A and B are shown apart, each in its own frame.
Chain A
Amino acid sequence: NAGVTQTPKFQVLKTGQSMTLQCAQDMNHNSMYWYRQDPGMGLRLIYYSASEGTTDKGEVPNGYNVSRLNKREFSLRLESAAPSQTSVYFCASSERTSGGAGEQFFGPGTRLTVL
């Protein structure tokens, strides 16, 4: 039981490049989330998926897109990376079926640098 896994762990991009961050969970959770963490800012929600087939914007969605591929997987895409997107990205999942969160479980994070 691996919990929440994220790939890659580290990534360096040049401005304007695109990439997709992958997240998978094996806990059969309905809800999945993407956060970014910046120094002194805590965790800010980018997008979430309350259930398979649905996605909703969080606090800071600009510059990102998401895909809930199936119940297990939720990917985050940067179409044209900008230096302001340099951050640590965390994926999380929870069992709640509504848009709410309850007890979320987090992955180990992806450390992204945009030059």
Chain B
Amino acid sequence: DTGVSQDPRHKITKRGQNVTFRCDPISEHNRLYWYRQTLGQGPEFLTYFQNEAQLEKSRLLSDRFSAERPKGSFSTLEIQRTEQGDSAMYLCASSFGGARYEQYFGPGTRLTVT
């Protein structure tokens, strides 16, 4: 068990470009979450998958954001036409289902939009 991994760890892009991030959860976990965190704040929920089904999306997830989890394994988060306000740390977490199971977080992808 290597934990939750995210790629890339850092991404610098110019405004208007598209970016895609990948998350590989702990293999036995059926739940996968994406969060966004800005400096000095706690993570904000973006979206949630149970297996391959996307069951919840935050209103923070504008039309420029899309997430997928094909086959219930890894997940991708794409941001189209990036804006400077998208600069943040994007965190992925996974867990088993149920109230007694912890969420395990990856190291995050730091996005800087110039």
| A and B interact | no
Interface residues of B (CB under 8 A from A): none
